[in-house]
Amino acid sequence: MAGRAATIAVAAPARYAARMTLPERPDVPDAPAPRPPVRFRWAWWLLAYASLGTGIVGIFVPGLPTTVFILISAWAASRGSERLHTWLLQHPRFGPAIVNWQAHGAVSRYAKWMATLTMTACAGIMLWCVPIAWVKWLSIGSMTVVAIWLWSRPLPPAS
């Protein structure tokens, strides 16, 4: 098929039958993904480091998520900083969670429990401290939706 476009027939009734051509495939089977343009690489780099910094601050500040910002950092670093991306994937604390998320969309049971307990504690603090009812219920409703989504994610495969 190299050098020619393949033609396929669409399975449809005769009056709707049409022929389509597929684009030519490159001769290199495992070509690396193209790097983003240089003018955007600095933006990915900036987003990666800003997200990493925010995630590290989230370790110490209750209510500020760490995992989300570390995942954003890994995603942005894969486009803007190979060095940071490699460091994050090899990090003993962040690496396994990032690899599980990127490979399987999976979240460990421990991470699910910790996130749920943290959101429950934040909901309790909001019920006690926030005087505006709609703010309380919007925030608690958002945390409930996130918790349901989080628990619907699969567990990582056993190693």
29-71 pLDDT tens trace: 555 566 556 568 889 999 999 999 998 998 888 777 787 888 8
The span from the CA of 71 to the CA of 43, in Å, is 16
pTM value is: 0.61
**pLDDT over threshold 90, residue 23:** no
Per the model's pLDDT, the better-predicted residue between 1 and 122 turns out to be 122
Amino acid 30: pLDDT = 56
Residues paired with 7 in a beta bridge? 21
Q: What is the mean pLDDT of residues 130-138?
A: 93
Q: What are the tens digits of pLDDT across the range 77-129?
A: 988 888 999 999 999 988 888 899 888 989 989 989 988 998 899 899 999 99
**pLDDT over threshold 70, residue 11:** no
